[in-house]
Chains A and B, each alone.
Chain A
Amino acid sequence: MLDASTPLVEMTDISIAFGGIKAVDHASISLNRGEVVGLLGHNGAGKSTLIKILSGAYKRDAGDIRINGETATINNPRDAKSYGIETIYQQLAVADNVDAAANLFLGREMITPLGTLDDAAMESRAREVMGRLNPNFRRFKEPVKALSGGQRQSVAIARAILFNARILIMDEPTAALGPQETAQVGDLIKQLKSDGIGIFLISHDIHDVFDLADRVVVMKNGQVVGEARTSEVTKDEVLGMIIMGKVPPGARPGPGAIAG
């Protein structure tokens, strides 16, 4: 068994530049089992870019990724999935023109012994998982296009948990949702956390994240401003980190912190 104190994910000194602009500049971040880490920052602070490196959507220029203490090679989304990293993207990454079951199993379809798609089995599994997540969900036969924002989000979340994710990345998971659906997602996060799954929550809005997260990491201009346990800082202090880059006493400063 692995030592429980080994972080589930360790990203150290990650850098990536797009045409001379350093989107992420020597950023380090870690995640433990059963922990929810909020990654905060303005739009364009580099948080989505950093996390897309973990999920395999971007290739880093420099830095190391360790999963369970072992160096991981992540060059594309398939690699990330093989490490149990599942991502729920900000722009709901669902194929609008196919139904919920097809989206849930996209890239990992269930196959009959003859090698054809086992649609009935997939739909049955989809009904089971969606029933647990969102019991009101009934529109299995329709293209996802016809669903509401919340229903689409539950499809995206169901896809992530369907394949026993160990590390879940949620990029603005509640941005498109109403209050009730947001509360549902909150409950879901608590449930996943108790299953020992590590979760990154990415948001530019502190209110979405503060109550759910155990720890927050704040980014600004591609650098980590600082990190803090949510029990040791206030919302206003974190807001100060996001807006001004000022690190309060309860937080640990990072490379992007401003002096004083």
Chain B
Amino acid sequence: MADQHAISTPTHPSSFAQNPIQRFLVATEIDTRLLGMIGALAIIWVGFNIFSGGLFLTPRNLWNLSVQTASVAVMVTGMVLVIVTRNIDLSVGSILGLVAMVMGITQTEILPVQLGLGLGHPLIWMLSLLAGLVVGVGIGALQGAIIAYLRVPAFIVTLGGYLVWRGAAWWVTMGRTVAPMDSTFQLIGGGPAGSIGFTWSWVVAVIACCAIGAGIFFGRQQRRRFNFPQRPLWAELSLAILGCGATIAAVWVANAYPWPVRIAENYAKANGLAVPDGGLFISHGIAIPVIIAVAVGVAMTFLSRRTRFGRYVYAMGGNPEAAELAGINTRWVTVKIFMLMGGLCAIAAAISSARLNAATNALGTLDELYVIAAAVIGGTSLAGGVGTIAGALLGAVVMQSLQSGMVLMGLDSPLQSIVVGIVLVFAVWLDTLYRRNKQ
């Protein structure tokens, strides 16, 4: 202990970097890989904007993009943990389909008719969501237990699940589409009513900015407490400005997208408002599914970085044997990961079915592949041990941007699949190059 002062010199490594850009990167401790992804996303956005004749970078398209990404984004946060532990889940799309069906039946038949709550009862959306979560977590627990305790490879178990749960979704109503959903439940899917509006969006922005500031402040205090090297003050400040700037820009975009004219007129009529000459401008604000997705992203990042569970997940991915020998109950952790995945599928199912305002037995078809692709594009390594929630969320945005960009450009649907497939392989190749150079 006597030589402790010798080993913890509070000089930040950034003071050794020469080049100003390098110094900025080291000082802010920004993940360069993540930065590369943001750059790639920027190129995709600007490129599509040019080729679609300025349709891509409009508040309307970006708002829609955010809503369309929400469902996959929720699931990809769980898929990261699954893949980090060297497993895979091919059943998420099917689980989504089945859970959506269960929630649909619960809110259209079981609760209002069979239990006599009546349509539109305020408890209906909560109980339906709860039922969906129970089914999703239960399916995850079952699959996880088979993988962890019976030692059947995850690929096989979830491939089986892919067929079983899709079949089960079909079986619930014998293939009939369930619609319409409960009116409160529908808000989970977004739309003009399912957005929080101008004022609340800014409230969210203020809260987010405060959280960013507090996070940076407490992180700095913690480092000071243990006499660790600290980031230079200017680096902390630029991080805060970048974070808050991005938040404010996102909210500004969401608020710049007005309600469709008809809906705004109806709203004005119902509330006795006068419609001004230029038409009524009512901001959408942030959509509820986007808030859910962001909240899930924050919660999952917290879980993966700041809790024992998250630490074990990464340790298991890096060296399963070492984790086991360190006394970690790796089987139970595996079951918990799949339970979490099932729960996230349920949330995604709520978003998808609420957005469609129906539960169909094809809902979520191919989602497993989009989710896995998003995670992999976001830097999650199939070899295990590597992957971040933030990266995977960005991956989901990249995937959705490609798709909606191609739609705006009027590309045929077969061509869209071809492009997405090529981009997936290309992105992973780039990532391999990046990792090889880093070593």
Contact = CB atoms under 8 A, between A and B. Distances in A.
A180 interface: no
Contact of A123 (B228, B318, B327): B228
Contacts of B216: none
A77 B307 contact: no
Interface stretch (A113-121, A205-213, A229-237): A113-121
A102 interface: yes
Given A81-B327, A117-B306, A120-B222, A95 B315 contact: yes
Contacts, number: 101
Interface string B317-351: 11101111111110000000000000000000000
Contact of A106 (B1, B3, B307, B315): B315
Interface string A64-92: 00000000000011100100000101010
Nearest to B221: A120
A98 B316 CA distance: 10
Contact of A78 (B306, B307, B322, B327): B327
Interface residues of B, number: 36
Interface stretch (B4-12, B240-248, B359-367): B4-12
A100 to B, nearest CB: 12
Interface string B131-174: 00000000000000000000000000000000000000000000
Interface stretch (A9-17, A125-133, A240-248): A125-133
A188 interface: no
A95 B384 CA distance: 11
Contacts of B319: 93-97
B4 A127 contact: yes
B327 A102 contact: no
A97 B325 contact: no
A252 interface: no
B209 to A, nearest CB: 22
Contact of A89 (B6, B318, B325, B386): B325
B327 A107 contact: yes
Contacts of B436: none
A22 interface: no
A93 B311 contact: no
Contacts of A138: 7
A124 interface: yes
B16 interface: no
Contacts of A120: 222-223, 225-226, 228
Given A102-B315, A117-B307, A120-B226, A127 B8 contact: yes
A258 interface: no
Contacts of B307: 115-117
Nearest to A135: B3
